[in-house]
Every structure is written in structure tokens, then in C-alpha cells.
Amino acid sequence: MKESQNIEWKETWRDEYIKWICGFANANGGTLYIGKDDKGKVTGISDAGKLLKDIPNKVRDILGIMIDVNLITEKGKDILEIIAEPYPYPGLSGHPRSECLLPLDEQFCCGYSKPQRSSF
């Protein structure tokens, strides 16, 4: 498996990755793996237990959605699999699919910009 539109690998968790989860939820869903480098090599994480609790709570508090966070052991190292399903309901700003989950000025927005309307 390699990185794609629906799969992203990160070596460590950073709260800024909530924007990836937001982007996945605004599109067709996706999976974020924590503990793999950009080439897909397993690097592992040391704080898996804490992150298993913290990540779903942060995503729920910030985005208002539930995600699956699974602990996987690969090559003797722990990695996290974070699965974001497509968000089925309209959100708060003009995303073309189901609208963005957050206003564009929020810290963790997925970064979608509304197209500007021309004034003829």
C-alpha cells in the first residue's frame, strides 16, 4: 500500500494533522497512519496508548465527528491507523461536496477556499 488521495503516512502525531482528518471527512474518507515515514517504512510510535485516547477526543471536540483509531503492530513496532469516514451532512462553509466541517478561519480547517463570485 502506498500514499494516495485517501492514504497518508506520518512518522509522529501532531495536532495539525486534524486538518488531514477534516479533509478526508470532506471528501471520500481516508486513512492516516502514524508511525510510518513517507516511503511507508515502519518507524513506530512510543506513546500509542496515550494517542489512542487523545486523538479521538480532540477530533470529536474540534470537528464534532467520530473517527476510528486502531493500534496495529507491524514489524514489532506500534503504529496507529486513523480512519475518517466521509461526513454525510452539510458543515459550516462552502465546500463543494458536503461543505467544510470548520469555518475557513479556524486553526484546523482543511484549507478549502470558497470560489469568489464575480460581480458583473
Domain spans of the chain, in order of start: 7-84
Taking residues 23-40, report their average pLDDT: 91
Q: What is the pLDDT of residue 2?
A: 81
Identity of the amino acid at 47 = D
CATH topology of domain 7-84: 3.30.950
| 96-118 tens-digit pLDDT | 444 455 544 444 455 444 333 43
Q: What is the pLDDT of residue 4?
A: 86
| 44-97 tens-digit pLDDT | 999 999 999 999 999 888 888 899 999 999 999 999 999 999 887 655 334 444
Is residue 101 within 8 Å of 89, Cβ to Cβ? no
pLDDT at 23 over 50: yes
Taking residues 22-48, report their average pLDDT: 92
Q: What is the pLDDT of residue 86?
A: 87
Where does 2-119 have alpha helices with state H?
Answer: 18-26, 48-63
Question: What sign does the dihedral 19-82-2-16 (CA atoms) show?
Answer: positive
Three-class SS state of 26: helix
